[in-house]
Structure formats: structure tokens, C-alpha cells
Chains A and B, each alone.
Chain A
Amino acid sequence: GAGVSQSPRYKVAKRGQDVALRCDPISGHVSLFWYQQALGQGPEFLTYFQNEAQLDKSGLPSDRFFAERPEGSVSTLKIQRTQQEDSAVYLCASSFLASGQGNEKLFFGSGTQLSVL
């Protein structure tokens, strides 16, 4: 596709439910990032993939959060036993280069807005 695609666009979950958020990066992009954005705040880093390898998951807030990118393209962010504090917009971003080369710009999807009731 032409850009980064995320689905679903909106997700409402009852507290305690598991959710799965999908990201389709731009074809050929090596790097994939997940960010969490609370209302009125900037995106906060969650995790980073270089191809299929998860090289950094230091931003995941708890062990309820899990991300994968098994074939180096599509990625899924899974949140188990959702809590109200998980309510936020989850953004996926990709870039052509491997992170660390210092000159990559990120292409973001429109995000998934998660509301936990």
C-alpha cells in the first residue's frame, strides 16, 4: 500500500479483555515501531523491530503487552487483560532504514484508538 495501515481504527474493550492491534507497514521498510499516545501528549515509545527481530521492548509498560512481527512485515500488538489505563491511541510507524543510522524519518499510521471500559 501507499502508507502505513492500522486496524481496527477504533476498539472498545471491556476491562479484562484481550485485544490485538494490527499494523501493515510500507512494503520494504526494515524498521517498525509501536508508540502509545495519550490525549494531549506526544507519542511514547513502546517497542522496535528490525525485520522480524524485536530489538527493543524497553517501553512496554507491563508483561500484559506483547508485540510480534513474525515475517518481518505485518506486526501485531497484543494487550492482555486490558485495564482502563491502557486507553490511548496506539501508533505504528515504519522506516526504510534500520534504526541507528541517524537519518531515518518515520512514516506513521493513523493509529488505533483503544477505549477500555
Chain B
Amino acid sequence: SQKIEQNSEALNIQEGKTATLTCNYTNYSPAYLQWYRQDPGRGPVFLLLIRENEKEKRKERLKVTFDTTLKQSLFHITASQPADSATYLCAPGYMEYGNKLVFGAGTILRVKS
């Protein structure tokens, strides 16, 4: 089965710095990859989608990269703010699994002012 690995430890950074979160996957290469944000007691909220033929995607302060050679996606938040503190989930989508999303365990980000 697919294994999705995200930073197991929480990431603590200072306000204004760039946060970089890692998502590694094994075996099959996903057709696309989504990133979600989840706040305590809430469901995940979609942030960005990147396809296998795209190297990079940007949206405001967010940037996602997708390296199929390294089997890795990086998620960057520039000029981070305390309001960015949340859990960030990586979710590759696999044709082999009927395009179901397979979620990682998530990385907790804490931005300190």
C-alpha cells in the first residue's frame, strides 16, 4: 500500500519567516497531489493542487513543488503569520486507487509572534 510521510514533529517558526513542509511518498507516483489545512475540531480545507506534469504552483503566499524523481512535494508559506498555525495535510491522488486521495498524517505548524 502507499505510504505518505510528512514531518512527524511539529514545525515551530518565527513570524515573518518561510515555513517549509515536506511530503514524501513511496511506490506509485501520484497523478496529482493536494495540500489541505486542518484546524483543531474542523475538517480539512483545500489549499492547492499540483499535477504530475507541473513542477511548481503558487497561490498568494503559498508555493508547492512536486519532484517525481525524489518522490517528494514541498509546501512553502512565505512571510508566515500566527494565523497560519494549523496542521497541514498532504494528499496524493493515485490512478491505481481510483483517484482516491491518500492522506498523510499531517505536520503541525506553529508560528510564533
Mark contacts of A32-49 with chain B using CB atoms, 8 A cut-off: 1 yes-contact digit, 0 otherwise: 010100001111110010
Sorting the interface of chain B by its residue count into under 10, 10 to 19, 20 to 34 or 35 or more gives 20 to 34
- Complex Cα gap A103–B32 (Å): 8
Question: A1 on the interface (CB 8 Å rule)?
Answer: no
Contacts of A102 on B, CB cut-off 8 Å? 31-32, 51, 93, 99
Interface-lining segment among B12-20, B42-50, B56-64, B77-85: B42-50
Tell whether, in the assembled complex, residue A99 and residue B100 are in contact, meaning their CB atoms are under 8 Å apart: yes
Mark contacts of A74-105 with chain B using CB atoms, 8 A cut-off: 1 yes-contact digit, 0 otherwise: 00000000000000000101000001111101
Interface-lining segment among A13-21, A60-68, A106-114: A106-114
- Complex Cα gap A97–B29 (Å): 23
Task: Quote the shortest CB–CB distance from B44 to chain A (angstroms).
Answer: 5
Interface size (A, Cβ < 8 Å)?
Answer: 26
Tell whether, in the assembled complex, residue B43 and residue A109 are in contact, meaning their CB atoms are under 8 Å apart: yes
- Complex Cα gap A15–B15 (Å): 46
- Complex Cα gap A93–B34 (Å): 14
Across the A-B interface, the 9 shortest Cβ-Cβ residue pairs: A108-B43, A42-B103, A105-B46, A100-B99, A42-B105, A43-B103, A108-B44, A41-B105, A45-B100
Write the residues of chain B forming the contact surface with A, with a CB cutoff of 8 angstroms.
Answer: 4, 31-32, 34, 36, 41-46, 49, 51, 89, 91, 93, 98-106
